[in-house]
Structure 1
Amino acid sequence: MIVAPDADGIRRAAELLRAGSVVAFPTETVYGLGADAFNEDAVAEIYRLKNRPSWNPLIVHVADVTAARALAEEWPDGANELAAQFWPGPLTLVVGRAGGAGTIALRVPAHEVARKLLDATGLALAAPSANRSESISPTTAQHVLRSLPEVPLILDGGPTAWGIESTVVDVTCDLPRLLRPGALPLRDIRQVTGAIELPGTVLDGAARPAPGMSKRHYAPRAKVVLTDDVSAVTGVVEPAAVLTYETEDVPGAEILSVDPREYAADLYAALHRLDDRGVATIIVRNPPATEEWMAVRDRLTRAAA
């Protein structure tokens, strides 16, 4: 059920979450499937609905830095500096988990609806993207409904602004480590941290400290083919479609912006549109191999895996 995020909608969503159910809600990145992060049955329902592998961890959304620090064993200087600069916002910090071994991934979202929901529940909310595992993340309430029709309530906050997931940084070591490129550009993080370790390869099935590290992820139903020249691709399964950007004139193509942030904001929506058209193959022109495009290239590479 899709409902408006007015006072009544927030109240209904909060009641469901406090009762141990799940609710889909918008953040500034993508829509999340939220549940009480410390209710084992509620978290299990997230995994069941998404058909999510048990080795893929969840990000916990909290209202503010004070709430985040309460869930951390230690709060290093790096976490303090990054949180001060980028929270609320599309940055997830991985820190040591309070009261036990392992780590926890924490984020303070900026979206007004997410913040109202956190305030109304008083809970920390585990909230991965509100879609079936490995498929395209949702940037509208309608995307959520099509992917997860069993979700009892979806708060409709309109299209999300950033369009791709948060950037995830591990601050448990002396040198901060980028685990997942995302909406917050790496250059912005470097202005705070200086040096930062770039992500490595993690095998599926292995324990990991952050979501979004699977080889195949963010994928449409159609096969994705990445290429530097869309006109040179042959032998694909028809019907096929092209996804490119403004410097290329391809009749009938999905044309996205040459600005990496604007491209990212519409990427998942474009993949949803092409899936809705029933195409079998999506031919995607590779974005530039520059740091500004790192997050977009990461998503496309995993979608094509």
Structure 2
Amino acid sequence: MPTAYADLDEASQVEVLREVALLAAPAFGLHAAAAELVLHGFNTTFRLDTHAGAVAMRVNTNSMSSIANVEAQQAWQHALRRDTDVIVPDPLPAAEGGYVALVHSAALDREVVVTASSWLAGEDLGTLSTPEQARALGALAARLHTHAEQWEPEGHGRFPRFASTLFGDPDLLTAAVAGDDGLRDLVTEAWERCERVFARWAAQPAIPLHADLHGGNLKWHEGHLAVFDFDDSGLGVPALDLAICAFYLRGGEDEGVLEDALREGYAAVRPLPDVARADHEALVAARQLLLANSLLASTTANQRSEAEAYLRITGDRLRHWLGTGHFTRAVPAG
């Protein structure tokens, strides 16, 4: 009996997905003999060198996005490329229309969503470590929000709505922490606090958000910040995007300096969202719950191996937030 995809080692998973990427190439009018791995994470990205130049092909291995969601995300990305000076890869249209190709994978036992885009030049940013970088990220987020407000809503109805802590994803956390009373109580209290904040913001106007603005989705390109990976995009309030940015800036001695720079960069382009400090901290902490839940949902080998340890980290960080009112990723193990 064949080994289930989730039980394959990382190298074997990559080979399964490489085949999917190569099979998808003709759907975008591309021909490539090889697909070079870029990242095997929650989703998996390959670089294809084709007659049309380098192409980034993303195989939606674990994505919770529906086809309609993906089409909306790609349409917004294309509109940003068309309408603004924000540097983003341009999605490639599929030959049959839209931006999506479906490839059946026997190993995954389902049809897999694949997208393709122009290759984004520049160096991967990784961790944002300087005020200059954080300020550039704030300005980038503000430009995204300004465009999102003005963009003719050709895809708004197809975006998911971020109305709760897990963004509508299935809840795997509750069962995962059920056997540990201390961790269960921390997760429950944190979740309830986050849900109250999401409920308070539910009536506010929602716009498309990138919802995953961190160094892993950014590049420096000709002296400017470039952004990619719109797979988490959906409708929400601008304050949520800034809280997600802040989550990834928290964790070092200079986290306050970096977050101040983030806000300065944003305010230089558009007014900052008016949000109470406690609500902001809850939205930052909500990211921790979402990531822990996503790791539990992942079939990717290295992420599956990290899920249990990440639950412990989650408990330590939530305990600190609930006790101090400030969320940080730099918490000693409890």
TM-score relative to the length of structure 2: 0.26
Structure ranking higher in strand proportion: 1
Give the structure with the larger helix fraction: 2
TM-score normalised by the chain length of structure 1: 0.28
